[in-house]
C-alpha cells in the first residue's frame, strides 16, 4: 500500500487522520509531511451544504431550456446541474459512465450495448428506462432536427431497448470512439412522454432540481435529495447568474457576490489572482484558434504555398500577444496535448522566413498578395491576430490584406465562403471526433474542403480498430498528415481561465474538456 492509497482511504472516510499518520510514518514519511498529506486528503472530501453562486458569461434572454440549442457555459451549467448524460468525461479527462454502468462493442465496433445503472430516478419519481434514453437521443436525430448535436447522433442507424436496463445502438459504420460522442453536453437524458423527450418540464435525473429559470438573468436550483452519485451534488442550493460584462464578473467575485466566475479577462487575470481569497482555475482545453484556407481554390490548392504560410507564422508572438501566454503552442493540427493519442513527438513548427520563401518559390511565386478575412466574431482578438500575421509574413514576401468582416453573420457568410479566414474550434475530446467533424472529406464543417486519400483511409481504419497501440500509430500518422498537408494554420490552444473564491473547492483533478471542470462544477464541487 503506498501513500496515495492511504490518502484515498482518508478522503473516503475509511481511515482516521491519526491512523494515517501512523501508517505513513511506517512508510518513512516525516510527521509534518504526513500531516500535510492527510489534510490534503481531508480537503478533497466532498462536504454537503451551502449555496453556490456562479457569475457566468454567455447567457442571454434568448436562451431556451431545449438541450438541442445549448451553445455555451451558462446553459451547460444548467443542463449538467439537473441532468445526466449517458457517458461522462471524468475529472481526470477519462471516459466513465454517467447513467450507463458499462458498455461493450462487437469486434467491428458497429453495434454498441450500453447497460444502464439500476434504480436511477428522475426528480419527479419516475424510474429511468431505456425508452427515456432512446427518446432523448431521437430528440437530436432525424430529418427535421435543428440540434447542434445532430452530428454526434448521425452515426446511429438504429436504437432499441433490450430488457429493462440495456440500450443497443447500431451504427452505420464502425466507430471505436462512439461512447465519447455520448458525453456531449447536448445529449442529456430526459424522460420520455408519448414517445418524445420531454424537455419542456425540465425534469432530469441530475444532482439538482430546477426551481426558477429566467433566461438571461438567473437560474435557481435546489439539491435533489435522492441523487444517486456518491460525493456529487453537494450544494444545498445553486444560483446561476448571467453577468455578461467581464469587469462586473470580476468585481462581483472580488466583493463576494458570487463564488465562481467563468471567463476571466486575460489582460487582468494576474491581478485578480493576487486578490486574497481568490483562486484562478486555468486548464489547457481543446479550444484552438485556426486560419483555414479553402484548399480547392487557387492559390491555396498548392501545398507548397500552404507550407509557406505555415512557416511564416510566428506562433510564439501570437501566443504572447493575443493570448497573453495563457495557452499552449499548436503545431498545425487540431489535437490538444491532453487528448488521447496526441502526437506530441512531431517537432514544433518554428517561425522561419527562409523556409517560407523556399516553399513560396517552389510554389512558383516570388511574392504573393492574399486576402485574409477576420472579425472578432471568430474569437476575441481575431482581427489583431490577423494584423500580426500580416506583419510576420511580410518579410517572407507574402503581402496580406486584412479584410475586416462584420461580426453579424460571420459564420454563415464569411467562414467557409471566403478563401482564407480566421476561425476557432471548441475542440473535441477524441481524435476521431475532431477529424470526422472538420477534416474528413465531405464532413459538414470541413472548413478547408481538404481531401487527402491516405488520411480518409486511415480515418476509416481507426474507427474499426480497437487495439490501443495500433490506434496510436494511426492517429499519429493522421496528425502528421494534417501538419504537413492540411489547409489550416493552427497556432494555439487557449487555456480556460475561470476563477473561484476559496470558499468553494474541488477534488485534485479538474477536467479540461470544457471550462469549469467540463461544465460539471455544479455537480462536482463543494463548499470548503
The footprint of other proteins (CB under 8 A) covers 55, 60-66, 69, 71, 143-148, 150-151, 212, 214-218, 220, 241-245, 247-248, 251-252, 254-255, 257-258, 406, 408-409, 411-413, 415, 423-424, 444-445
Structural contact between residues 306 and 462, judged by C-beta atoms closer than 8 angstroms: no
The string of DSSP letters for 4-35 reads: HHHHHHHHTTSS-HHHHHHHHHHTT--HHHHH
Tell me how far, at minimum, the Cβ of 504 lies from other proteins, in Å: 17
Tell me how far, at minimum, the Cβ of 199 lies from other proteins, in Å: 11
Tell me how far, at minimum, the Cβ of 257 lies from other proteins, in Å: 5
All three cell numbers of 229, joined, read 452519485
Tell me how far, at minimum, the Cβ of 408 lies from other proteins, in Å: 5
Q: Which is nearer to other proteins, 193 or 394 (CB)?
A: 193
Q: Which is nearer to other proteins, 251 or 464 (CB)?
A: 251
d(CA 203, CA 385): 44
Tell me how far, at minimum, the Cβ of 255 lies from other proteins, in Å: 5
How far from chain centre, in Å, is Cα 339?
Answer: 10
d(CA 206, CA 224): 7
Q: Which is nearer to other proteins, 142 or 163 (CB)?
A: 142
d(CA 285, CA 323): 14
- The DSSP element (H or E) to which 449 belongs, if any, is none
Q: Which is nearer to other proteins, 389 or 423 (CB)?
A: 423
Tell me how far, at minimum, the Cβ of 310 lies from other proteins, in Å: 23
Q: Which is nearer to other proteins, 241 or 474 (CB)?
A: 241
d(CA 356, CA 433): 31
Rounded to whole angstroms, the maximal C-alpha distance in the chain is 75
d(CA 254, CA 246): 12
The vertex-178 CA angle with 72 and 434, nearest 5°, equals 55
All three cell numbers of 375, joined, read 472579425
> Which ranges constitute the DSSP H helices of 257-329?
269-274, 303-311, 315-322
Map residue 216 onto helix, strand or coil.
coil
Tell me how far, at minimum, the Cβ of 353 lies from other proteins, in Å: 32
> Which ranges constitute the DSSP H helices of 286-403?
303-311, 315-322, 353-362, 382-393
Tell me how far, at minimum, the Cβ of 214 lies from other proteins, in Å: 7
Amino acid at each position: 500500500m503506498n501513500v496515495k492509497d492511504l490518502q484515498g482511504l482518508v478522503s473516503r472516510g475509511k481511515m482516521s487522520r491519526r491512523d494515517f499518520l501512523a501508517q505513513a510514518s511506517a512508510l518513512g514519511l516525516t510527521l509534518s509531511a504526513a500531516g500535510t498529506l492527510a489534510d490534503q486528503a481531508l480537503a478533497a472530501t466532498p462536504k454537503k451544504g451551502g449555496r453556490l453562486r456562479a457569475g457566468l458569461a454567455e447567457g442571454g434572454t434568448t436562451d431556451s431550456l431545449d438541450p438541442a440549442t445549448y451553445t455555451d457555459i451558462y446553459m451547460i451549467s444548467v443542463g449538467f446541474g439537473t441532468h445526466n448524460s449517458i457517458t461522462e468525461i471524468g475529472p481526470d479527462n477519462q471516459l466513465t459512465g454517467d447513467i450507463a454502468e458499462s458498455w461493450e462493442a462487437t469486434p467491428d465496433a458497429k453495434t454498441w450495448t450500453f447497460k444502464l445503472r439500476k434504480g436511477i430516478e428522475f426528480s419527479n419519481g419516475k424510474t429511468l428506462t431505456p425508452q427515456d434514453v432512446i427518446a432523448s437521443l431521437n430528440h437530436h436525430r432525424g430529418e427535421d432536427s435543428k440540434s447542434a448535436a445532430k452530428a454526434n447522433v448521425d452515426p446511429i442507424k438504429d436504437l432499441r431497448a433490450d430488457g429493462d436496463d440495456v440500450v443497443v445502438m447500431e451504427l452505420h459504420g464502425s466507430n471505436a470512439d462512439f461512447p465519447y460522442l455520448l458525453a456531449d453536453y447536448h445529449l442529456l437524458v430526459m424522460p420520455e412522454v408519448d414517445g418524445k423527450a420531454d424537455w419542456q418540464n425540465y425534469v432530469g435525473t441530475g444532482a439538482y432540481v430546477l426551481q426558477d429559470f429566467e433566461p438571461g438573468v438567473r437560474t435557481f436550483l435546489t439539491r435533489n435529495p435522492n441523487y444517486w452519485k456518491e460525493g456529487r451534488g453537494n450544494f444545498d442550493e445553486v444560483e446561476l447568474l448571467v453577468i455578461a460584462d467581464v469587469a462586473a464578473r470580476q468585481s462581483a467575485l472580488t466583493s463576494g457576490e458570487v463564488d465562481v466566475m467563468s471567463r476571466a479577462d486575460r489582460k487582468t487575470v494576474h491581478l485578480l489572482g493576487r486578490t486574497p481569497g481568490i483562486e484562478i482555475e486555468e486548464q489547457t482545453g481543446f479550444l484552438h484558434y485556426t486560419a483555414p484556407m479553402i484548399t480547392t481554390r487557387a492559390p491555396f490548392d498548392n501545398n507548397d504555398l500552404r507550407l509557406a504560410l505555415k512557416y511564416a507564422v510566428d506562433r510564439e508572438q501570437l501566443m504572447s500577444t493575443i493570448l497573453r501566454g495563457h495557452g499552449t503552442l499548436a503545431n498545425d493540427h487540431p489535437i490538444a496535448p491532453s487528448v488521447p493519442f496526441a502526437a506530441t513527438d512531431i517537432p514544433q513548427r518554428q517561425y522561419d522566413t527562409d523556409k517560407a520563401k523556399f516553399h513560396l518559390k517552389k510554389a512558383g511565386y516570388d511574392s504573393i498578395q492574399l486576402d485574409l478575412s477576420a472579425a472578432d466574431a471568430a474569437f476575441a482578438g481575431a482581427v489583431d491576430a490577423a494584423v500580426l500575421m500580416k506583419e510576420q509574413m511580410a518579410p517572407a514576401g507574402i503581402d496580406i490584406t486584412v479584410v475586416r468582416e462584420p461580426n453579424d453573420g460571420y459564420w454563415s457568410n464569411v467562414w467557409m465562403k471566403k478563401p482564407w479566414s480566421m476561425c476557432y474550434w471548441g475542440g473535441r475530446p477524441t481524435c476521431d471526433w475532431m477529424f470526422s467533424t472538420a477534416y474528413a472529406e465531405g464532413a459538414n464543417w470541413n472548413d478547408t474542403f481538404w481531401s487527402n486519400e491516405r488520411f480518409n483511409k486511415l480515418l476509416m481504419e481507426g474507427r474499426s480498430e480497437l487495439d490501443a497501440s495500433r490506434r496510436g500509430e494511426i492517429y499519429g500518422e493522421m496528425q502528421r498528415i494534417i501538419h504537413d498537408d492540411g489547409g489550416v494554420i493552427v497556432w494555439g490552444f487557449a487555456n480556460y481561465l475561470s476563477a473561484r473564491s476559496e470558499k468553494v473547492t474541488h477534488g485534485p483533478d479538474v477536467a479540461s474538456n470544457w471550462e469549469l471542470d467540463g461544465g460539471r462544477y455544479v455537480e462536482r464541487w463543494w463548499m470548503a
